[in-house]
Structure formats: structure tokens, C-alpha cells
Structure 1
């Protein structure tokens, strides 16, 4: 057996046996008809790493915009100062259009029905992998941190160090606290960095990893409140 390349593959693979939702996932959120429960949602700094599986040419997207929407591309560049080259810009634009924006849409929908939403930006890379993941945390890289399974997951179990393990423990604690305590009346997750939910009129984003090396950070409408050691401790430098 060998891998099949597009268009012969069906990636991502379908799952048999589960009942599919009766409507596209985002429609209830657009209509503010989602279940009234707290939500945690976020994305990683290099989510664009997965787009090749779907046949997306990230540099080609920028080149297409240059041909068809040159003025629009100029405006987009203003949002990414210092990012040079079609591949680098495409990586960030595609990431935000496909993944980052999704979290923001869900957060706004939660605000409309008065439910809290914890939104995060994950940028942590194990210290031994800094060169391997030069663009940041890839799609799915947060999973062994959320479940605190770095010592059991391949290949991280072979090279994680104490800093990586301490960081994973802190991340997992936030997820457990969310599952145990999150509600309309308990809209703060406690830890090394106090993490308040996004509620109506207060948009907040937890930033962890490379962008917060000296400590965890909560961005509140663009203003970062620094804290000590949560999501950022041991992050990429």
C-alpha cells in the first residue's frame, strides 16, 4: 500500500458511522442559535501548514490577488508589516482567513447570546523543534499540550525537556478549569495568567508561545496585559 496523491485521495479522510450535522457548522453561529454554553476556541500560529493537504498554494493565492485585486492586496499588506515574500505573506493571510477569523466569528456569536468565549492563539514549539517548526506551531501541534501527553506522544516523547513539560501542564490546567468551572457567572480561568473570557464589549485573546516569551499575555482589544509564565514560559525566541 502507498499514499495516493490528489486528485485520487480523499483527504481529510471521512469518518463512517457518525451522523452528520443537519446544516453547516457556522450557520447556527451566524444566526446566534447555537447552544447557550461556554466555548473555548482558537488557532495556531502556523495553521497554514495544513493547507497543502487541501491543494492550496499559499504563495499562489497572493499572486492571484496581485493580478486580480491589486489594491486589496496593498491594503492587506498593511495588516502584516515586515512580512516579505509571497510565501510568507500567503502563509499568514491564508491562516487568518481560514482559521483565525473562525474563532473571532464564534466569539462574536457567543457575545450575541450572552455566553462567555475563551479565545486563544497558540504559538508554542518545543525547544528542540525550533528549527523544524520555523514558522510556528503547526495545525494540531497544541493537542499534546492540551492533554499533557508530551511524554506519551510520538515523536515529542524523545526530546521534550522540563520547560516543555511545565508549559504543557499549565495549558492542560486551563482546559480542565474551563471544563469544570466555565459559565456565565464564572468567566475567568485562573492560572499563572488570569484569563478572562471575551464577553459583550470586551474582546480578549490569550497569546501563548513565541509572542509572549517572557510570560503569558492576554490581549484586550489590542492592549496586552503581561503575566508571569503561563502560555509564554519557555516559548520560541
Structure 2
């Protein structure tokens, strides 16, 4: 869980940097984003990394399910006197719910973009690249679709916040000497990633709405 989680944290940084191109002026954004998408699909090194990504996503989801089932079996019935809310954060107690929201989001995300790009008949832009930019813009011009993404990104933020701290502890990186630095970095990372992704659908909806 810790290893795959931290790898996915690193991937989110790269993914966000690529998607921020959508905030550029429309003509420039289309050309750069489509070129970027073509690069990701055609480079052998990127393909290998993408396979690692897919395996990490699957492994992270499957192992989290196994841990959840194991914990439920170990706990047995619910506590008669349960005061865990006083000693733990809401997100740490509801990682299953947050993970489920993220999993549903990933299914939608892969279906609407990855699958369409790989197997759909997309038009080409002026440079001859598949025009994924047009698909993204069209999607985020729908209010209900933006809402789904915003809720999913909030779930991701809470998930990251607990997951980052949990992973550092598991890997022995949460030492008392630099625990404060790890917490600050974890908060900054989670906030930047969350609101970085959240601003893109909102920007497109309000600025490029047809």
C-alpha cells in the first residue's frame, strides 16, 4: 500500500503538470495538450511507466480491499462505546468511502478519455495529432460532469492527506526529528494537488462554456 501509494503520489504531480496546459490560451492549449497526449501514447519509456501505473492502481485498490476485509473480520461487531473520533481524523476513519469514490471516478475518467483516445475515432488537430483537447473541453462544459470531478478531487485530497502520512510511517520516514517537516510537506502536497486539479474543470466551464 505504501509503495504503490507513493508512486501514485509522484504520478499525480506529473499528471497535474501536463493538465495545467489546459489553462493556456485556447489555440496554444489545443496544440500543446494534443502533442503532450501523443507523446504519452507513443513513447516506449512512457508506455512502460504507464503499465507500472496500471499495476499500481490495481494493486493499491485490491490490497486496500483486502486490508478492509481483514480489519472488519478482526474487529468483529461494532464497538458499543466508540470514541475513535476524538483521537483520529475523519478521513483516516473513512478511507474506504474515499477510496470507493476515487475508484468510481477512475472508471469514468479512463472510459471517457483513455479508452476514447486509444480506441475511439478522434478528429485530428492542425498538427495531425488526435484532438483529445476537444473531448476534454466538451466534457467540462457540462455542469454535472464538473460537479462529479470536483467531488472526486475533494475525496482525493482527503485520501492523499491520510495516505501520505500513513505511507511515510510504514516506510519508516516519519522520524520524530523531522515529523513536523513531513506533516507540512504532506499538507502542502495534498492541497496543491487537490486544488490544482479542481481549478481546471472550473476554469474550462466558466471561461470556455459554449
TM-score (norm: length of structure 2): 0.27
TM-score (norm: length of structure 1): 0.25
Q: Which has the higher helix share?
A: 2
Which has the bigger relative contact order, CA under 8 A and spacing at least 6? 2
Q: Which has the higher strand share?
A: 1
